Amino acid sequence: MVFALMTPVSAKAQETLISSDTIITEDNIYDVLEFLDLDSEDFIATDFEGPSVTTVGELEAAIEEAKTQPSEITCIANKISVGNESNSIYDTKGLGETTVKLSYTVDCGSYTVEFSADGTYFQDEWVDADNPDAETDTNNLIYVYKITKDDLELSFDPNYIFLEGNIYVTQYLGVGGQGIIKVGGQHINSFGYWDVADYA
């Protein structure tokens, strides 16, 4: 009688089972990451329902595309256009003060970042500025963009409200419906201001 001895597949042998046509699954996702020299700590296992790459070749191509993005974007938005009256204008506490939602958008190519704040004016002067914020938006079918660091400085004087943003946007990629992995990121530096004369 002959007994066959079962031995575990070595990492090297496992690599030979992976090719550009390999479909990424829950069972092989970490082998694929190792095969592509990607840090497993950059992978977030989650019930990701957005678009994902499905094969190793698609993952490689998407990673190479992500590398073409500039590492830093600087935008100085001089005077922000007023837009129309749909900017959520409302009276504050019946005191005759009016608060408006202020925003400007930075186009980063594959996505945009909207910087916003609330400004309050009385008669013809800014009297308060509050709630600085930044949000990403994209129509990209593969990548996910998340703000993972933000430093927003909001200030004002009677004539102008100033918003300076220094944020980091991390670029993630949906992988095999198993989660997302970090493939890049960008520093976004921006500056914008609003003239009370455009509102009061």
Looking at residue 95, what is its pLDDT?
65
CB 118 within 8 A of CB 99: yes
Looking at residue 168, what is its pLDDT?
95
Looking at residue 170, what is its pLDDT?
93
Looking at residue 91, what is its pLDDT?
53
- Encode 73-86: b = buried (16+ Cβ within 10 Å), e = exposed: bebeeeebeeeeee
- Percent of all residues in the chain with a pLDDT value above 90, rounded to a whole number: 46
Looking at residue 39, what is its pLDDT?
92
Amino acid of residue 183: V
Looking at residue 97, what is its pLDDT?
86
**CA angle in degrees (0–180, nearest 5) for 130-94-153:** 5
- Of residues 13 and 139, more confidently modeled: 139
Domain parsing of the chain, residue ranges: 19-200
The answer for residues whose C-beta is within 8 angstroms of residue 64's C-beta and 6 or more apart is none
Pairing mode, strands 72-79 and 179-195: parallel
Instruction: Tell me the pLDDT tens digit for each residue of 41-76.
Output: 999 998 777 778 999 999 999 889 888 888 888 876
d(CA 183, CA 171): 6
Instruction: Tell me the pLDDT tens digit for each residue of 117-161.
Output: 999 999 899 999 999 999 998 877 778 899 999 999 999 999 999
Whether the pLDDT of residue 178 is over 60: the answer is yes
Q: Residue 80: which pLDDT band, with cuts at 50, 70 and 90? A: low
Looking at residue 29, what is its pLDDT?
92
Helix (H) or strand (E) holding 28, with range, is none
- Percent of all residues in the chain with a pLDDT value above 70, rounded to a whole number: 82
